[in-house]
Amino acid sequence: MAEQDRDSGIYVGYLPTPARDKRFLRVLIPVLLWLGAITTGLVAWRMQDPGTGVWNISNEQTWEGVLRADPYPLLEIDGAGETEIVLLVEMGKFGPERARAFDGRRVEVTGFELERDGRRIFELVPEDRAISALSDAPETQTLVSAQLGAVTLRGEIMDSKCFLGAMKPGEGQGHRACAILCIRGGIPPMLVTRDASGNASYYLLVGTDGAGLAPDALDRIGEPAEISGELTRRGDLMMLMIDPGSVRGI
Amino acid sequence: MSVNYRWVQWNRHKRVYDATAVGAIALFIGAFVIVGSVVYPGERALSGPILLLRAFGVTALLLLHIVLAIGPLARLDRRFLPLLYNRRHLGVMLFFVALGHAALVFLFYGGFGNRNPIMAVLAPDRALSWPSGLPYEKFGFVALMILFAMAATSHDFWLKNLTPRVWKSLHMLVYVAYALLIAHVVFGAMQSERSVLYPVLLSAGVIGLGSLHLLAGLREVSRPRNAEAQLGVELAGWIDAGRTDAIEDGRATVVCPGSGERIAVFRDGDAFSAVSNVCAHQGGPLGEGAIVDGCITCPWHGYQYRAADGQSPPPYTEKIPTYEVRIAGERVYVNPSANAPGTPVEPARLEGKGDG
């Protein structure tokens, strides 16, 4: 169809746009662009606070402490006050099975720190240098756990790595598939509860015998759940000893 | 109009349209990312991929609302027709934005673990609670597959080879995709978000789109069914299309027979011709078009037909059904029995300027 100078009266894509339509489009397009940008901006503005978790992925560090394989591979770090318990994880969504060989030994651990609300977790570098033993024999002294009694808590079961900073946010419905993948891969599971002001408390989930839960033991990951169990404290870490079958959805 | 197939038959309007659409997408994604970064800076910042996948998801849903609004808006007000002209490109862009959202979800939430990333997201261990147990990830994935099928078959090659009826049915699945995406958002993201803004915005979108479609539909339904003419045996069964002077020169009136497709009765000077109201290209409403360069021209994509025989002028090959027309007194009548597409019919002419 040949292009024409005259106004065809209706809009035809391959002909000059009628003046009436041009005038209309000059108003409509900017209005649409503004409305669209305002809409997406509003949605972004009202997002839930993802929390203060930080993943120092560009800052490789080394820490010293006693490595324990149970209930999950972790590092006991002596400080001025109570012993700090720091969980160990691998890169990606895996628990550090290789750390079990160092059970009870004083070690130097190399990796990256994740931290939220003062709670830390270490991600090991993938190389063998991630853990090096500083002593030949296991430490004879073990940390005593304090039994705090039976409790029933409501919260969400999460993987500790994402919640403490690997994912922002590392909780909620959108993150559920990831949390399941992480826990099934050996990342230690936590119950996170919140008080009326939204402040979070963390409880490492372990079996009724105090040993780590099997990666596929828990259901209702990433869902609102109610859990009953025996509360214990080891160093600065609260642990909830539970029967995985007793987790109830809310 | 097409003779042979090209990837895209570019013209200036399509270039401007696509450039505007790409700019709009960049603007919408950029607005989300910038506001999200300003609201939660520093140690409260969202993970980059999560911020981006949310920006893509929100932009895709917004674009889908725009794409779905264009159709009824163009029926209600012709000034929206330029938005409809290249809507298919907007649909393809929408698919790619949605694909970007899905790819980031699979990579970030489903990746880095001991399972296939896609299966880790689509088939996680069963959630057990209501409503978080609903498989909102699958809703989104099926919607993405529909958008893919539409984007992949958006070219006129597929329109022709699938036949317009099958093609149209396939592309009507966009409403299924829309419903799935609303469910995807309601049972997904909105389960974790607490702001009242989200249900308000989503409701506004659903109600707004529904209202537009309802208004456009009501307009069609309220078009009076044209009565059969009472003009003796000769015109028995014909339909009264109204006064001849009620049809503007170069335009049409649309006649609704008791059954069958609507008929567009065009006036070109003193000549009156009738053709199917349905464009052979994408089913556009020919009766809302005009006569341009002597040809009936579809308002959607400018496909053209000669009024005298319903054929596109050579070298084009599209054909539409024609109808016999008569003028009696000051009124124009149409025989609702359709001729085969492309059948020549002598136009009816105003009295004194040739018989009808």
Matching CATH topology for A54-133 and A146-249? yes
DSSP 8-state secondary structure symbol assigned to residue A137:
S
CA A177 to chain centre: 12
Domain boundary assignment for chain A: 54-133, 146-249
Q: Map tokens 């264009």 to a residue.
A: B70
Rounded Cα–Cα distance for residues A45 and B196 (Å): 12
Asked if residues A187 and A160 have their Cβ atoms less than 8 Å apart, the reply is yes
Question: What three-state secondary structure class fits A148?
Answer: strand
Cβ within 8 Å, pair B132-A250: no
Strand pairing category for A84-89 and A119-124? parallel
Cβ within 8 Å, pair B292-A12: yes
Asked if residues B304 and A24 have their Cβ atoms less than 8 Å apart, the reply is no
pLDDT tens, B178-191?
A: 999 999 999 999 99
Rounded Cα–Cα distance for residues B287 and B264 (Å): 5
Min distance A135 CA to chain B CA atoms (Å)? 33
**Token couple for B3:** 């003779």
Question: What three-state secondary structure class fits B109?
Answer: coil
Query: Which residues in A lie closer than 8 A to residue B86 (C-beta atoms)?
Result: 13
Quickly state the pLDDT bin for B129 (edges 50, 70, 90).
confident
Among A7, A162, A176, A184, the residue to mutate for chain B (most B Cβ within 10 A): A176
Query: Which residues in B lie closer than 8 A to residue A45 (C-beta atoms)?
Result: 35-36, 39
pLDDT score at A5:
42
pLDDT tens, A101-132?
A: 999 999 999 999 999 999 999 999 999 999 99
Above 90 in pLDDT, residue B19? yes
Cβ within 8 Å, pair A36-B27: yes
Instruction: Count residue pairs from A and B with Cβ separation < 8 A.
Output: 220
What's the average model confidence in pLDDT over B161-169?
88
Q: Is B10 on the interface with A (CB under 8 A)?
A: no
Above 50 in pLDDT, residue A86? yes
Contacting residues for B150 by C-beta, under 8 A, at least 6 apart: B91, B95, B170, B171, B173, B174, B177
Cβ within 8 Å, pair B124-A176: yes
Rounded Cα–Cα distance for residues B31 and A41 (Å): 5
> Which CATH number is B239-349's, of 3.40.920.10, 3.40.50.150, 2.102.10.10, 3.40.718.10?
2.102.10.10
Query: Which residues in B lie closer than 8 A to residue A46 (C-beta atoms)?
Result: 193, 195, 197-198
pLDDT tens, A211-237?
A: 999 999 998 999 889 999 999 999 999
Rounded Cα–Cα distance for residues A167 and B280 (Å): 52
Q: Comparing C-alpha atoms, which of A102, A103, A100 is closest to residue A132?
A: A102
pLDDT score at A2:
41
Quickly state the pLDDT bin for A1 (edges 50, 70, 90).
very low
Cβ within 8 Å, pair B197-A17: no
> Does the domain formed by A146-249 have CATH 2.40.50?
yes
Min distance B264 CA to chain A CA atoms (Å)? 16
pLDDT tens, B213-247?
A: 999 999 877 766 666 666 656 677 888 898 999 99
pLDDT score at A10:
82
Interface of B with A in 218-237 (CB under 8 A): none
Quickly state the pLDDT bin for A249 (edges 50, 70, 90).
confident
What's the average model confidence in pLDDT over B308-317?
93
Q: Is B316 on the interface with A (CB under 8 A)?
A: no
Which of A12, A25, A182 has the CB atom closest to B297's CB atom? A12
Q: Comparing C-alpha atoms, which of A235, A204, A234 is closest to residue A79?
A: A235
Above 50 in pLDDT, residue B356? no
DSSP 8-state secondary structure symbol assigned to residue B124:
P
Q: Comparing C-alpha atoms, which of B128, B115, B107 is closest to residue A185?
A: B115
**For chain B, percent of residues with pLDDT exceeding 90:** 72
The topology (CATH level 3) of A54-133 is OB fold (Dihydrolipoamide Acetyltransferase, E2P) (2.40.50)
Asked if residues A40 and B33 have their Cβ atoms less than 8 Å apart, the reply is no
Q: Is the pTM of this model over 0.80?
A: yes
pLDDT score at B117:
96
Mean residue pLDDT across chain B: 91
Question: What three-state secondary structure class fits A163?
Answer: helix
Above 60 in pLDDT, residue A7? no
Amino acid at A186: G
Which of A10, A50, A220 has the CB atom closest to B46's CB atom? A50
Above 60 in pLDDT, residue B195? yes
Q: Comparing C-alpha atoms, which of B319, B312, B321, B274 is closest to residue B292?
A: B312
Phi, psi of B258 (to 5 degrees): -60, -35
Which of A14, A40, A172 has the CB atom closest to B58's CB atom? A40
User: Packing angle between helix B136-152 and helix B87-108, nearest 10 degrees?
Assistant: 140
**Per mean pLDDT, which range of A15-29, A164-178, A202-216, B117-131 is the poorest?**
B117-131
Cβ within 8 Å, pair A48-B194: yes
Domain boundary assignment for chain B: 12-221, 239-349
Among A22, A33, A39, A56, the residue to mutate for chain B (most B Cβ within 10 A): A39
Contacting residues for B254 by C-beta, under 8 A, at least 6 apart: B223, B262, B263, B264, B265, B277, B285, B287, B288
Contacting residues for A32 by C-beta, under 8 A, at least 6 apart: B24, B66
Min distance B273 CA to chain A CA atoms (Å)? 19
Asked if residues A158 and A220 have their Cβ atoms less than 8 Å apart, the reply is no
Q: Comparing C-alpha atoms, which of B235, B247, B244, B251 is closest to residue B336?
A: B235
